[in-house]
Amino acid sequence: MTSPPSELKRSLSLADLIIYGLVFIGPIAPFAFYGYVSSAAKGMVVLAYVVGAIAMFFTAYSYKLLSADFPLAGSVFAYARRAIGEKTGFIAGWMLVLDYILLPAAVYLAAANALHEIVPALPRWAMVLAFISAGTAINYIGVQITAVVNKLIVVVQLAILAAFVVLGLYALNHGAGAGHLTLKPLYQAHVFSIGLVFSAVSLSALSFLGFDAISTLAEETKGDSKRLIGRATLISLALAAALFVVQTWIAADLANGMAFASPDTAFYEIIAIAGGKTFSIVTAFICAMTFGLSSASVVQASISRLLYAMAREGRMPAFMSAVHPKFKTPYKSLLFVSAVSVAVAMAFLNHFDLIGILVNFGALTGFLILHVTVVVHFIIRKRSRAYVKHLACPAIGFCILAYVLYYMEPDAWLLGLSWFALGLGGYWLFVVRQRNRPKAAVPRR
């Protein structure tokens, strides 16, 4: 029996979902952002990633709880809309759109920066366009092709990460950097402060984004999607956090006393210490290809499905809810995302750090609403007495994320709140006005 034209095709297993989350997060995500996180954390990079992992664990747990009750493609938008109300759902979805719609451009720029390290003469804008074209083609065909590409990307990224860990430890034990693993990447009493740590977490959190995107595939998961989505979310986050701590700890000790030529290429400079210039060039090339393909296979897929879900509910233009008759993909929302990715990437071509902060602002704001949704849905609506998982856990997650947002840069607050105001204006224009508009009188015969 074939699926109706308006439905997405169910074809993903638990392994596919875990791999999808890992690819979206990226086992080597810190390669792209290390220089910025290290500067903000005053060298305590590992601490920034540990705190970020703790914050994201509580968020992932809230996703697990809600995805079991709402196995829908719209992520926080779908959860908040059904548990709290239409307006809250729209705001949650709108703030996540800021995350998802900027993230493809951020990943494409990361790929272009890595490739630019090898071929400086090749313009970054041309590389971004090439990656976006590849991503659009892969997603247009279907999520099954995406799953195959994901598995290849995970294998390649884990292989290059394993090589760095082995070579990095060997270099440390032979006198490079600090000469051995130290506690400095985790804690330095003379520079430590709560504000400094949470300011760094506002950047390191970007490396974790992606586990939440698994929930957008709820309507393409075969089997018990209520159970599988939550399990995949927690497993992919735990695996990524462990990999982040290992690689940044080795990198921080290798970089002891080192001044980076550029924050965009800081990790590749460290890799050169571990394995030489040739290994650094090979790694940069692999990172460029896998970052580009990972965005192609997961980031664009997620935002197109969020827009599809919002359009299906009448909260985005109707054309975004169109499903391809052959490939069963939300192809019109995908093409829209591709066009926006080009515009955003060109606008932020020389401001990679700013786009990262804005992505985090949108994501963390959406996550705050997620935690509130857990409390409203389970404690208030369902009168749950499981206070630890339905009240304490989301409350702790909310407080950590609120503190991270508090320490974000003023530019992020300005642009983030502007996006929020734009969403409120759009909601009033396209939803409230349409609802209040008097219906045309039916002419008498």
What pLDDT is stored for residue 443 in this prediction?
44
Q: Which percentage of the chain shows pLDDT scores above 70?
A: 85
Dump the DSSP string for 218-271.
Answer: GGGB-S-HHHHHHHHHHHHHHHHHHHHHHHHHHHHHHTTT---S-GGGHHHHHH
**Do 105 and 351 form a contact (C-beta atoms < 8 A)?**
no
Statement: residue 145 has pLDDT above 50: yes
Signed CA dihedral, 360, 362, 363, 369: sign only: positive
**C-alpha span between 284 and 275 (Å, rounded):** 13
**Mean pLDDT confidence for 384-392:** 95
14-428 is classed CATH 1.20.1740.10: yes
**C-alpha span between 174 and 172 (Å, rounded):** 5
Q: Which amino acid is present at 399? A: C
Mean of all residue pLDDT scores within the chain? 82
What pLDDT is stored for residue 435 in this prediction?
57
What pLDDT is stored for residue 427 in this prediction?
67
**Mean pLDDT confidence for 127-152:** 73
**Mean pLDDT confidence for 344-351:** 82
Statement: residue 210 has pLDDT above 80: no
Q: What is the pLDDT of residues 20-37, one digit of tens each?
A: 788 778 899 899 889 999
Domain boundaries, the chain: 14-428
Grade residue 4 by pLDDT with cuts at 50, 70 and 90: very low
What pLDDT is stored for residue 186 in this prediction?
95
φ, ψ dihedrals at 244, nearest 5°: -65, -45
**Mean pLDDT confidence for 340-365:** 82
What pLDDT is stored for residue 92 in this prediction?
83
What pLDDT is stored for residue 445 in this prediction?
41
Q: What is the pLDDT of residues 82-100, one digit of tens each?
A: 889 888 888 888 887 777 7
What pLDDT is stored for residue 444 in this prediction?
46
Statement: residue 81 has pLDDT above 90: no
- pLDDT, greater one: 214 or 40: 40
Ranges 218-222, 248-252, 315-319: which has the least confidence: 218-222
Would you give the DSSP letter of residue 320? G
**Do 280 and 194 form a contact (C-beta atoms < 8 A)?**
no
What pLDDT is stored for residue 74 in this prediction?
58
CA-based R_g, the chain, Å: 22
**Do 117 and 268 form a contact (C-beta atoms < 8 A)?**
yes
Q: What is the pLDDT of residues 37-68, one digit of tens each?
A: 999 999 999 999 999 999 999 998 998 888 88
**Do 204 and 49 form a contact (C-beta atoms < 8 A)?**
yes
What pLDDT is stored for residue 10 in this prediction?
67
Grade residue 142 by pLDDT with cuts at 50, 70 and 90: low
> Residue 276: left if φ>0, alpha if ψ -120 to 50, beta else—which one?
left
Q: Which pTM was predicted? A: 0.78
Q: What is the pLDDT of residues 283-316, one digit of tens each?
A: 988 888 877 766 555 667 767 777 777 787 777 7
Statement: residue 248 has pLDDT above 60: yes
**Do 274 and 176 form a contact (C-beta atoms < 8 A)?**
yes
Burial of 177 (0-12, 13-18, 19+ CB in 10 A): buried
What pLDDT is stored for residue 344 in this prediction?
83
